[in-house]
Structure 1
Amino acid sequence: MHLTKTQVQLRLSLQKGLSILVGILMAFFGPINIIYFNNPTLGCMDVIVSIFSFYCFWATINNKDKVLLHYALALVVTVSIYITAYTADFRAFSILWALSLPMVYYIMFGTRRGAFLSSIILIPSIFIINTHMVTDQFMAYRAILNYSLAHSFICFLCHLYEQQQSRNYEQLKKIALSDALTGVQNRHALEAHFCDLDKSSDRAHMLLIDIDFFKKVNDQFGHEIGDHVLVEMAECLQTYVDANNIFRLGGEEFVLLFKNHTDIEIKPKAENIRHSIEQYLFHSHNLRINITISIGVSRFLPGQSLGDFLRTADKKLYDAKSEGRNCVCI
């Protein structure tokens, strides 16, 4: 699954918290196992896991974190829990620490991998319970059943939480990248979209569109009518370009991106948009409003920044207005 930059940052934050927590716990149990329980092997293993966890924490805060470290940390935590559960007195119920593993997997690897890994580690848990129960076999079956139900319930809660987090993230992302009035994408979305642009191509073009004399519409009919015109304008523009390539910069300015067109091809498209808007009747509150637009067109130059790309289009838009508006300058 491809993670966005924000999701990666969230995973790194959780990774930091988990690694420091494991480091502290293992640093606590290591000396206890060595001194109190006279188990130097298990105690030394705890100390090693603690040192490695603190290293993972250090790597994360110093931007040296790698995906391999995530798996390595999850592996050493898993192995240490099961070695402890297998070698320690079963009456201490060390196996209960394995119930924390689904949370570790979901935090570090997300929903699908978390569910897969959580289902796998149920097998060694059942094996340890079955082989270490000191009472009759019937009690072992009951213990396995109860443990499996508890394990499944924790996985279910983790799964619900991750799914809800994913839905919340998508909703917040949509709000952050959408224009509240028209529903098209906003300037933040344009900046994110520009990062995915092929920086070596010169076949991308930007159409910077401005509604001519839009202030007169607001002054004559009111801002409510003006807002309706903006909404209807956004709907009209979406008939000429994919919704992922239309943006409202603010006010009455819109940006359209065309990624695979030559200079010769883009001029007729821009003229077609201008002409269609000129012929279109905007309807609102029994009013019929005619408006025109001016368009400035810029061609993307390899290595160009978004600011330069926009400035070139803005200069062409200024030229279009200087020529009397309701025209295209490229």
Structure 2
Amino acid sequence: MSTRRYPYSSVSPEEFHKWLSALICVLNSVYFLLNMAILQKLGIGGVQLTVAVFGGYCFYKSSNGLYRPWHSYTLLVLLTLNILLSIAIMELVAGATYWGLALPFWYYSLFGLRKGFVFSAVIVLLCAVVIFLRTDTNIFMPYRTVFNFTLVYCSIWLVCHVYEVQRQKTSAFLHSLALQDDLTNLKNRHALKADFRAIHKNFQSIHMLIIDIDHFKHINDKYGHDIGDTVLTKVADLLMQSTQVKEIYRLGGEEFVILLKDISDEEAQERAEKIRKTIELGIFFSHNEPIKLTVSIGISSLRPEHEFTDFLRSADEKLYQAKHEGRNRVCS
């Protein structure tokens, strides 16, 4: 199963698998007892016992934090085979076909849009064939039964598909809200933490630049917060243009962070100087009145013992040094 991000309002596949496995365990235990004790259907009863035992196993593993993706695939394969065998062996009036209608919902909930679509398409064909072979031999009955089942199945399948498409769009939107700064459209502090963990695993050399706009409070006080927001947006644009990297973040207020990968200390210093000069030479207009800006930059080089907070604190200390030494400078 592919790893998918879910908003807090959505149930994860792992949680859904846990409770579905419990439900499958209980239901198949009941059907096993009925088929063995009353109907004497030993073959299907054995299959249902297998499904019940594996469902209980999956629930136990999930409850103890030991979930694995193959649990979901195996559970749904066993459950699907159980339903198909029940349709093929039991009389149609017993209603085993009704359980087939629940399969699209389970497929989409556990496996997502693409696999849910493929699995649902395969199963509707298999169910249609089995039902056709099991219906009355009257010339019209097989076609009518298959037609009605397929129509209902496809209606449920369509609802599941549309819901999953909408859920993924909502999830992506909420994810972007959580990791993106609304004003500048840069990544935010939460994204910085997440990206640092990912980058730390794949790159040995990482430099962090903390960039702070000098005397930004004076701009807000003189021109107003609307102009201040415009300045922040313009600075964000200049940072993206001058660095050509994706790892640019608004830390908060007038502070920005850039992560640079696999470069030397000298190269990090040169890039920071380029940013400083770009901002210094830029002109920001407010009602045709030019606004000049400068920035102070602190550089931190990642050490083996550094965690995220240590890395950030080290760069922040260098930023404080740059401000203490007169601003509009780079310290590393």
* TM-score w.r.t. length of structure 1: 0.93
SS in 2 for 1:106: helix
Q: How does 1:1-330 map to 2 (within 5 A)?
A: 2-4=2-4, 6=6, 10-199=12-201, 201-242=203-244, 244-330=246-332
Aligned residues of 1:184 and 1:247 also touching (Cα < 8 A): yes
Number of corresponding residues: 330
CA-to-partner distance for each residue in 1:208-259, whole Å, 9 max, x for gaps? 0011111111122222221221121111111123463110111111001111
SS in 2 for 1:113: helix
SS in 1 for 2:157: helix
In structure 2, what is the Cα distance between the partners aligned to 1:138 and 1:70?
Answer: 39
1:197 CA displacement: 0.8
SS in 1 for 2:271: helix
Q: Percent of aligned pairs with the same residue?
A: 38
SS in 2 for 1:134: coil
SS in 1 for 2:298: strand
Q: 1:41 to 1:201 in 2, by over 3 A?
A: closer
Q: 1:280 to 1:130 in 2, by over 3 A?
A: same
Aligned residues of 1:204 and 1:261 also touching (Cα < 8 A): yes
Q: 1:134 to 1:178 in 2, by over 3 A?
A: same
1:118 CA displacement: 1.4
Q: CA RMSD in A?
A: 2.0
1:149 CA displacement: 2.3
Unaligned 5+ runs, structure 2: none
Aligned residues of 2:207 and 2:300 also touching (Cα < 8 A): yes
In structure 2, what is the Cα distance between the partners aligned to 1:92 and 1:118?
Answer: 23
1:47 CA displacement: 3.1
In structure 2, what is the Cα distance between the partners aligned to 1:219 and 1:148?
Answer: 68
SS in 2 for 1:196: helix
Q: 1:159 to 1:241 in 2, by over 3 A?
A: farther
Aligned residues of 1:202 and 1:301 also touching (Cα < 8 A): no
Aligned residues of 1:199 and 1:303 also touching (Cα < 8 A): no
